Structure 1
Amino acid sequence: MTTSLGRAMGGVTKEEQEKLLGVEGLERLCKTYGSADYLERAMRDWSDDVFFLDIWEGLQDRARGQTSNIGTMSVADVAERTSKNVESDDVDGGSLFDETASWYARLRERSEKIIIDTLNSNVREALRPYRHINPWATLSGASASASNATELSPTAEIDPLLSYLRSTLAFLSRALASAPLRRITRAVLTTISTTLWENVLSRYRFSTQGAAQLHADLAAVCRVVDKHVGTGVAEAGLAKCLEGVKIVGLPVKGNSASQVDTAKGRDDDGGEEDEDWDTGAWDAEDGDEVHDAPQKANTARGTASGVDVGELGLWEVERRLFADNQSARDVLEDLGLELLSETEARALLRRRVELAG
């Protein structure tokens, strides 16, 4: 199924190689997988059939006898073709088709592994353009307060991955049962998560709007996967990446009392706070309380970064995350982050442009 294998095979054209790496190649692998799975189950079922049980008991009796042969075959040859327990004193151990069923099981597992390897290779290739773009720190922060991450359009460079997942998972959802489909999808999502973690999250700087855009791209991947595989599968497979995006997408200011104090401590002349109050007053509609406006501004910032309203802001998280390990664990728990370690969270928070110095 690989390009090198295709080149090594005589008479295989470039077009045929591309077909082998596409849906047609997956179709062949799925047929092999399905046949092996069916025959393995059939062998297990036949082993419980009365007819084959009688044959198995007869073989065991002859194997435990004084002779070293069963007909024209040695006992070792019979064991290799039926079951290694043919000479065992355990009457209930083994069956006539143990070795045959095991062979089909290995073929099934090998077919599934090749499917996963093929998908992982193609996913990495589809993510190649996405890994090399770097708009994350330069996206305008002004629009972050007016845009929700779920309303942003996916980045153009993520389209090859979305198209590949859409066509591949649509086919696999028809060709495979639910259990192998979910196993294969989880393996592919692990590859996507690892690639994005190593080549995007851990590599580039992020503004609030940049993190919101990355969140929108991940949400697009989740929608495609959930449509064909099932709700919640994508979120579970990309959980660590989603938590990383939440860290780098924290709003600059939260709406908790301690966050306000921290922000004031960082603002020497208090001008930034006054500006928020003034802007909120102008934005307030007739009948609205003026003191509600700053909270509305903070709410918009939290929504843009994919963080729920009422959560902590960047400065307070930074203060608590770098204080000590216990404080870091507490703030990660407050944020609802279960997979990120303290070290990983600190490294990601340093990717924010506000803390890049």
Structure 2
Amino acid sequence: MSSLDAFETLSSAFVRAVPGALAGQVGAGVDTRRLTSGNEGLQRLLKAYASAHAMKETMQSWGDSIFFLELWSEINERSALRAKVEAHPSLPSTVQAHKGDQVQGTLFDELISQYALIATRAEEMMIRHICSEVETELKPYFAKQWEASDLNEEDDSIKVPATLVSPLTILSTHLALLSKTLSAATAAALYRRVASSIASHILQRSVLHFGRGRLTPARGAEFAREAGLWVEASQMAMPNRRVEAPWQRLLDGARLVAIKQGEEFENAKSAVWNGTEEQCAEFAESLGIKSLDRKEMQDALRARSDC
């Protein structure tokens, strides 16, 4: 727990704003930002998670062993032992039992619960760490996303904007570390939460809330190509897994703003605003929209300058 507390302290806004605030608490000349940022910061969180998870697994194994099960039964049968256990905050509550009674739980239940909470906290901090670093690097991208591009709506070439290189690289690097270090199930669970959070962040900043009336048809098509880069970066980091699902909201919004101007776009507006529920659903299915409701589809179309 103390390692996670230290990480949060070192990475706090106060410490970032006042570099000397922890003088005496860390070694002289140590760059606290380096300790809690980038891959080094993520590695520290992974170590905390691995330690807590290993302790939880070990205690579960001990608790299920015959020796400790018999010891736990004896503790619950003898009042003197129960009193000693009750006085210790890291041991579970006892129940008065008689010899031969079936005693619930194990001697290590309280410790297992505590280590499980530490592991969960480490997971939350890893998710927050990755999302925060990617979103910070996205600020230049959002600042320049409305600038005119020399690409046109018909141009299918894929060009990575300079402002996306850093956030894409950071995401891919962090995901690769998760995939290499954690079990497949844990890495996949964290990936889904990271990707869906970043996808929603981009969708809100570029389309649903901040983009109203600002996306030209050409920029919409370019945005759709850029959205696909997030899936590609994730796939590079986790090559043996299906990675697209958590990005679905971003991809859906991108498909809508990339609809060709003219008749296709007018048909889209008609289906989303004036069509029946069935007609709107059929339109969404034809375009591959899976995660946006009708209002969100309307908000996405409103981002277009020709809406």
TM-score range, shorter chain: 0.7 to 0.9
Tell me how far 1:102 sits from its aligned partner: 1.1
1:122-173 deviations in whole A, cap 9, x for unaligned? 121011111111347x4457x432x32xx31111111110121132222222
For residue 177 of structure 1, the aligned residue among 173, 176, 183 is: 183
Q: Which amino acid aligns with 1:48?
A: D
2:136 is equivalent to residue 163 of structure 1: no
1:155-210 deviations in whole A, cap 9, x for unaligned? 11111101211322222222222222222222221221122112111223223321
2:25 is equivalent to residue 9 of structure 1: no
1:63-113 deviations in whole A, cap 9, x for unaligned? xxxx4x327x445325x4332354478725201111111111111111111
Q: Distance in 1 between matches of 2:12 and 2:118?
A: 21
Q: Distance in 1 between matches of 2:241 and 2:265?
A: 28
Q: Distance in 1 between matches of 2:271 and 2:111?
A: 60
User: Tell me, which stretches of 5 or more residues in structure 2 are unaligned?
Assistant: 1-6
Q: Distance in 1 between matches of 2:294 and 2:191?
A: 29
For residue 44 of structure 1, the aligned residue among 51, 60, 79 is: 60
Q: How many residues align?
A: 285
CA contact (8 A) 2:86 2:92 kept: no
Matches within 5 A, 1:263-302: 263=263
From the superposition, tell whether residues 88 and 215 of structure 1 become closer, same or farther in structure 2 (CA, over 3 Å). Answer: farther
From the superposition, tell whether residues 198 and 207 of structure 1 become closer, same or farther in structure 2 (CA, over 3 Å). Answer: same
Q: Distance in 1 between matches of 2:139 and 2:242?
A: 24
1:196 corresponds in structure 2 to 202
2:106 is equivalent to residue 95 of structure 1: yes
1:186 corresponds in structure 2 to 192
1:226 corresponds in structure 2 to 235
Matches within 5 A, 1:65-84: 67=79, 69-70=80-81, 73-74=83-84, 76-77=86-87, 80-84=89-93
Q: Distance in 1 between matches of 2:114 and 2:96?
A: 20
Q: Distance in 2 between matches of 1:100 and 1:237?
A: 34
3-state SS of the aligned residue for 2:87?
helix
Q: TM-score, normalised by structure 1?
A: 0.72
3-state SS of the aligned residue for 1:144?
coil
3-state SS of the aligned residue for 1:132?
helix
2:298 is equivalent to residue 330 of structure 1: no
Q: Which amino acid aligns with 1:116?
A: I
Q: Which amino acid aligns with 2:160?
A: P
Tell me how far 1:116 sits from its aligned partner: 1.5
1:248 corresponds in structure 2 to 257
2:83 is equivalent to residue 132 of structure 1: no
2:248 is equivalent to residue 239 of structure 1: yes
Tell me how far 1:240 sits from its aligned partner: 0.6
More off after superposition, 88-97 vs 44-53? 88-97
CA contact (8 A) 2:228 2:251 kept: no
1:317 corresponds in structure 2 to 268
Q: Distance in 2 between matches of 1:139 and 1:338?
A: 29
More off after superposition, 31-40 vs 82-91? 82-91
From the superposition, tell whether residues 318 and 14 of structure 1 become closer, same or farther in structure 2 (CA, over 3 Å). Answer: farther
Q: Which structure: larger Rg?
A: 1
From the superposition, tell whether residues 129 and 14 of structure 1 become closer, same or farther in structure 2 (CA, over 3 Å). Answer: farther
Q: Distance in 1 between matches of 2:69 and 2:14?
A: 43
Q: Distance in 2 between matches of 1:186 and 1:345?
A: 23
User: Tell me, which stretches of 5 or more residues in structure 1 are unaligned?
Assistant: 254-262, 264-312
RMSD of Structure 2 on Structure 1 (CA) = 2.5
Q: Distance in 2 between matches of 1:250 and 1:103?
A: 52
1:29 corresponds in structure 2 to 45
Tell me how far 1:325 sits from its aligned partner: 4.6
3-state SS of the aligned residue for 2:260?
coil
2:303 is equivalent to residue 351 of structure 1: yes
